[in-house]
Chain A
Amino acid sequence: MATQEPGKPATPLNVIVATDCGSTTTKAILIEKVGDEYRQTYRGEAPTTVEAPFEDVTRGVLNAIAEIEELSGRKILDGDKIITPCRDAKTGVDIYISTSSAGGGLQMMVTGVVQNMTGESAQRAALGAGAIVIDVLASNDGRLPHEKIERIRTMRPDMILMSGGTDGGAVTHVVEMAEYIAAAEPRPRFGATYKLPLIYAGNREAQGQVNKILGEKSALVVTDNIRPVLERENLSPARNKIHDLFLEHVMQQAPGYRKLIEMAGAPIMPTPAAVGVIMETIAKREHLNLIGVDIGGATTDVFSVFEGVFNRTVSANLGMSYSISNVLAEAGLANIMRWVPFTIDEQTLRNRIKNKMIRPTTIPQTLDELQIEHAISREALRLALIHHKSLATGLKGVQQERTISDVFEQQTSGKTLIDMLKLDLIVGSGGILSHAPRRIQSMVMMVDAYEPLGFTRLSVDSIFMMPHLGVLSTIDEKAATDVFVRDCMVYLGTCAAPIGQGKDGERCADYEIAFPDGKTVTDQLKFGDLRLYPLESGKKATVTMRPAKSVNLGAGAGVAVTREVQGGVVGLMLDGRGRPLQFPTDQQARVAVLTKWFNAVGLYPTGANGV
């Protein structure tokens, strides 16, 4: 067992075993120092064991590590214990670390006074800390007081975050909310015997009153106001408290977590928080605007960094197995069908989706099943980004200094920070993207779902190890960076997508590509075209595009753009399908157009389904 102080490894780290305890499976990876650099060498997985009959998360962890033992020939386990530090070249590991989203992750309820001001700030604080927000209560949320109390009582969160009011402002509303919470006597999800952790991060003036009302009824922690003044958010203190309480209270109650915490040589992180660390690091290191996505079985997490501002959202019921049926419910059948390159009757498709929901671990065996899953994933990704855009905004309710030019723009406060034209990189992670049989499939799924504008680079997590590397980066940044660069991040290539629409076959843009070997390609991109040019990882090409009069590549309608673009395992994709994407309404025509696109880039093996 690891005995060193968390976060400060006592011995040099040469061999690391890391796990991510997900809602379905626990994924373990082995990282070893080879020469001067760290590499991910082996991987194992086993079903997560949070609930009956095992009710001990460490059982799944040990099973996943046992797989690594089998594959690597390294002895890591001594009975139920992980051997640390390494005893010799084939025995033990130097540290064991883990992330967790098992048992439904960290579920929080947040409160504010004004829904789209302190309510949203509280929501952002909780989401940034890796939580799923199950409800946002606010004085002006339209619910009657007794409805709020009933709601607090019936939801069983792991934790509540209370905010409201600027420092020195009125205390009435925030005290009123405290009274409602006290009246509801909320109980935590796990364990009937401990008090519910509650963080107060609202108006400083109300701290005493809140303490009087809730001090006895909850495990109250008071921290700095998340909105000390209207114009500024201060989310870090509340986020840090959420992490502390997650470890101290919530994790202690979940089955087997006490043991897991003892086993680990660093604090356990919520999975999304760990992935968030990685996304922020990439953006900072390379000075990029990025969108990251982790599409799982139950949820889809979206991360963004624009102009240095980090945001994260979780779409709790958009996922590819447990929540697959909810993607159908939210997107609607027509939106899913528009991506399916064959015809299928509604009843069959609905039954298939429900069968995946009730047997979530199954995988597509035939090509048409794979294409259906890829169609659903496009919609899950699209909906999750819409959700993200609505929350990743500037502060609302803030007075803005206006110049004369702003008068004509009619911009309001709280505009989304996501600007697809300024987006440099899309990073995809999660089973459907990481394990797609062809990497081009991951690229096209993300391009179709996000409809990037202008020039955008895309990448994917090779085998889903970002959570592991996120937690590793908190104790050894070099090890995390080495593995991230060499084994985790797979650059797919660049997509160039002109903005505008036209009839199929009409001129969209003329282009010239100067490849690194000196070869030059000059051609015309027509509306409806999708073209792919190989351009290896690490190589760059110079692309000049001269768009048609009404078409824009970011510099204005009809203005030519020259850009140096990066290659990847897929290459350079020119997307002349127009923005926003449009589909024929006729079923046969839709199938024909999808087949044309898919064949143009070699998306699927040919010969099946007419593709």
Chain B
Amino acid sequence: MAHSYTPGLTVTDSTVIRRRRILPLPGTVLVKVGDRVRSNQPVARAELPGKVYPLNLANQLGVAPNEITEYLIKKGGDAVQKDDILAENKPLFKWLKTEIRSPITGTVESVSTVTGQVLLREPPRVLELLGYVDGAVVEIHPQQGVTIECLCSLVQGIFGIGGETYGELVMAVAAPDEALTPAHVKPDMKGKIVVGGSFLPADTMVKAKEVGVAGLVVGGIHDKDLRALLGYDLGVAITGAEQVGFTLILTEGFGTIPMAQKTFALLSAHAGAKASISGATQIRAGVIRPEIIIPRTGTQTGSITQPQRAGIRLGDPVRIIRDPLFGKIGEVSALPPDLTKIPTESEVRVLEVRFSDGQVAVIPRTNIEVIEGT
């Protein structure tokens, strides 16, 4: 049943990734194929239509909807300034005159003789789409955006909050099983991406916000601290738009869980380098996981290295992703083909995992994750 295999998280020192940068609505692409771009450089621009303000002129003038055209000073498509007169009545006595003024500066979008309503629209707002990663433009999507290719080290997290940001990578702890305490967060970490170890307590989050760190990467947090940070209980893991002062990426999960040695070592090796991170997580088929991208100098191959795996193999490094051994890392030591009865009485496919201390455990196959990347 190799087909039922789902890949795990990637932690790799060298890979080529492509990131599609797409505007939310058609606009102008500012770069061309082959251009080198920086993470903070605009690559495309669009004009977001302004807010719409409906005004019911018929009601305000006290006339029938199909009569409002007779009272209009401004017509559909006209530009208006705030407080310009849009419409006025023509009473016999001028102290009975009613003038309807525009509440905004913008244009008259439409006039309806059915509802008596005028729609005003504010001027468009310019939206600039940044490159997000340092790399080369390999494809242009006309009016929509670009694809950027980047040779990099890549670490995928399991869960994150907050959007895209970038900064210098800095190690705040000495070991992957060390918790990130407030004392580890120093003023010079402002605008940087701070890597902790096994756990991020609530008081460290407060300190990180005070200092102004750009991002935090840790093994785990408590759900109650996440709730306090967000101000609500997160129901569904669709994140990326939160604004809590920093972007947060968990590499392991909820609870106190040491960061995988391989992840910690890779991030340590790149301390001082510039990284782009995103906390955006979407856990549905195909999933979007949070990521830490550390661009590397060197020639880009132009080819994407997709891990091609047939399934789980003996010797694969795996992480157990469900209690009672949640977070433990070991190697696959046996793959029995038959269904096995587990303590819940379910009959499932299992595998054997050998840990570094020589102990062996039998785990349902769905409860492990292969640690991807070389």
Chain A contacts to B: CB under 8 angstroms: 23-24, 44-55, 63-64, 66-67, 70, 102-104, 145-146, 149-150, 171-172, 175-176, 179-180, 182-185, 187, 192, 209, 298, 317, 322-323, 325-326, 328-330, 346-347, 350-367, 369-370, 435, 437-438, 605, 608
B223 contacts A146, CB within 8 Å? no
B123 contacts the other chain (Cβ, under 8 Å)?
no
Choose one: A23, A66, A350; the contact of B284 (CB below 8 Å). Answer: A23
Provided the pairs A180-B54, A357-B237 are in contact, do residues A369 and B323 lie with their beta carbons within 8 angstroms?
yes
Closest residue on chain A to residue B235 by CB atoms: A326
Residues of A within 8 A of B343 (CB): 365-367, 605, 608
> 5 tightest A-B contacts by CB?
A51-B286, A326-B235, A437-B345, A350-B223, A329-B233
Whether B233 lies near A358 (C-beta < 8 A) is no
Contacts of B125 in A (CB 8 A): none
| 265-284 of chain B: CB within 8 A of chain A | 281, 283-284
- Which residue from B6, B112, B144, B367 sits with its C-beta under 8 Å from A365? B367
B73 at interface by CB-CB < 8 Å: no
B3 and A364 contact, CB distance less than 8 A: no
Shortest Cβ gap from A463 to chain B (Å):
13
Least CB separation from A57: chain B residue: B285
Give Cα A149–Cα B50 distance, bound, in whole angstroms: 11
Residues of B within 8 A of A52 (CB): 286
Return chain B residues, CB-CB under 8 Å to A180. 54
Separation of A182 and B281 alpha carbons in the complex (Å) = 32
Given contact pairs A176-B115, A350-B222, A351-B255, enumerate 19 new A-B contacts (beta carbons under 8 Å): A70-B1, A183-B109, A183-B119, A322-B236, A322-B237, A323-B235, A325-B235, A328-B233, A347-B222, A354-B253, A358-B237, A359-B253, A361-B366, A363-B344, A365-B323, A365-B364, A366-B344, A370-B344, A437-B344
* List of B residues within 8 angstroms of A322 by Cβ: 236-237, 283-284
- Quick one: which of A47, A150, A354, A365 contacts B285, CB cutoff 8 A? A47
Name 28 interchain pairs, CB-CB below 8 A, sorted by A: A48-B285, A51-B287, A66-B3, A145-B53, A172-B65, A172-B115, A175-B114, A176-B117, A179-B112, A317-B235, A329-B235, A346-B224, A351-B222, A351-B253, A351-B254, A353-B223, A355-B253, A355-B323, A356-B322, A358-B254, A359-B253, A359-B321, A359-B369, A360-B283, A362-B367, A363-B344, A365-B322, A367-B343
Residues in A with CB closer than 8 Å to B115 are 172, 175-176, 179
Residue contact B285 to A102, C-beta cutoff 8 Å = yes
Q: Are the C-beta atoms of A146 and B53 separated by less than 8 Å?
A: yes
Q: What 0/1 pattern do residues 355 to 374 of B give for CB contact below 8 A with A?
A: 00000000110110100000
When chains A and B are docked, how far (Å) is the Cα of A103 from the Cα of B235? 19
Q: Nearest-CB distance from A287 to chain B (Å)?
A: 37
A365, B342: Cβ atoms closer than 8 Å: yes
CB contacts (< 8 Å) of A55 on chain B: these are 286
Contact partners of A64 in chain B: CB under 8 A: 3
What's the nearest-Cβ distance from chain A to residue B165, in Å? 21
Q: Do A367 and B344 touch across chains, with their CB atoms under 8 A apart?
A: yes
Q: Which residues of B contact A358 (CB under 8 A)?
A: 158-159, 237, 253-254, 281, 283
Select which of A47, A49, A365 is within 8 A of B344 by beta carbon.
Answer: A365
Asked if A63 contacts B284 (CB within 8 A), the reply is no
Q: Smallest CB-CB separation from B65: which chain A residue?
A: A172
Instruction: Give bound CA distance, A32 to B153, whole Å.
Output: 51
Query: Do residues A175 and B112 form an inter-chain contact, with CB atoms below 8 A?
Result: yes
Once A145-B54, A365-B364 are accepted as A-B contacts, the answer to whether A325 and B285 lie under 8 Å apart by CB is: no
B244 within 8 A of A: no
How many angstroms from the CA of A172 to the CA of B112 in the assembled complex? 10
Residues of B within 8 A of A438 (CB): 345
The CA of A435 and the CA of B158, in the complex, are separated in Å by 27
| B63 CB–A CB distance under 8 Å | no
B4 close to A (CB within 8 Å): yes
CB distance from A270 to the nearest CB of B (A): 16
Q: How far is the CB of A190 from chain B (nearest CB, A)?
A: 13
Q: Is the C-beta of B234 less than 8 angstroms from some C-beta in chain A?
A: yes
CA distance A44 to B144 in the complex (A): 39
Residue of A nearest to B114 (CB): A175
Q: Given the known A-B contacts A23-B285, A172-B65, A362-B366, are A150 and B237 also in contact in the complex, defined by CB atoms under 8 Å?
A: no
Closest residue on chain A to residue B342 by CB atoms = A365
Residue B4 contacts which of A46, A172, A359 (CB distance < 8 angstroms)?
A46
B283 touches A357 (CB 8 A): yes
B53 neighbours in A (Cβ, 8 Å): 145-146
- List the A side residues contacting B367 at CB < 8 Å: 362-363, 365
Cα of A297 to Cα of B352 in the assembled complex, Å: 27
Query: Which chain B residues (319-367) contact chain A, with CB distance < 8 Å?
Result: 321-324, 326, 342-346, 348, 363-364, 366-367
Closest Cβ of chain B: how far from A486's Cβ, in Å?
A: 22
* B4 & A355 in contact (Cβ 8 Å cutoff): no
Is B110 on the interface with A (CB-CB < 8 A)? Answer: yes
Decide if B62 is an interface residue (CB 8 Å cutoff): no
**B114 lies within 8 A of A47 (CB):** no
Task: Kindly report which residue of chain A lies nearest to residue B54, judged by CB atoms.
Answer: A145
The answer to whether A49 and B286 touch across the interface, beta carbons within 8 angstroms, is yes
Given the complex, which residues of A lie within 8 Å of B26, measured CB to CB?
192
What string of 1s and 0s marks CB contacts (under 8 Å) between B59-77 and chain A?
A: 0000001000000000000
Smallest beta-carbon distance B147→chain A, Å? 12
| Cα of A203 to Cα of B49 in the assembled complex, Å | 31
Question: Could you tell me the distance between the alpha carbons of A358 and B369 in the complex, rounded to whole angstroms?
Answer: 12
How far is B253's CA from A363's CA once the two chains are assembled, in angstroms?
Answer: 16
Q: Hey, which chain B residues are within 8 Å of A364, CB to CB?
A: 322, 344, 346
- Whether B110 and A347, one on each chain, are in contact in the complex, defined by CB atoms closer than 8 angstroms, is no
A366: B residues at CB distance < 8 A: 323-324, 343-344
Find out whether the CB atom of A330 lies under 8 angstroms from the CB atom of B235: yes
Question: Is B25 positioned at the interface, with any CB of A under 8 Å from its CB?
Answer: yes
A104 to B253, CA, bound (A): 24
What is the CA–CA distance of A522 and B150 in the complex, to the nearest angstrom?
A: 78
Write the nearest CB–CB distance from B220 to chain A, whole angstroms.
Answer: 8
Interface code B1-45, partner A: CB below 8 Å = 1, 0 otherwise? 101101000000000000000000110000000000000000000
Is B51 on the interface with A (CB-CB < 8 A)?
yes
A-facing residues in B100-136 (Cβ within 8 Å)? 109-110, 112, 114-115, 117, 119, 121
> Which of A182, A183, A352 gathers the greatest number of chain B CB atoms within 10 Å?
A183
Contact among B224, B234, B306 for A347, CB-based, below 8 A: B224
User: Quick check: is B79 within 8 A (CB to CB) of the other chain?
Assistant: no
Give the Cβ gap from B215 to chain A, nearest Cβ, in Å.
Answer: 18
Q: Does B52 contact A (CB under 8 A)?
A: yes
Instruction: Verify A369–B52 contact, CB threshold 8 A.
Output: no
Residues of A contacting B344 in the complex (Cβ-Cβ under 8 angstroms): 363-367, 369-370, 437
The chain A residue sitting closest to B326, CB to CB, is A355
CA of A354 to CA of B236, assembled, Å: 10
B257 → chain A, closest Cβ, in Å? 9
What is the chain A residue whose CB lies nearest that of B321? A359
Min CB distance, A140 to chain B, in Å? 15
C-alpha spacing A271/B222, complex, angstroms: 36
Question: What is the distance, in angstroms, from B137's C-beta to the closest C-beta of chain A?
Answer: 19
Query: Contacts A350-B224, A364-B344, A366-B343: A50 and B286 contacting too (C-beta < 8 A)?
Result: yes
Query: Provided the pairs A361-B366, A363-B348 are in contact, do residues A369 and B286 lie with their beta carbons within 8 angstroms?
Result: no
Nearest CB on B from A569, distance (A) = 15
Shortest Cβ distance from residue A383 to the other chain B in the assembled complex, whole angstroms: 12
Query: Could you tell me the distance between the alpha carbons of A328 and B114 in the complex, rounded to whole angstroms?
Result: 48
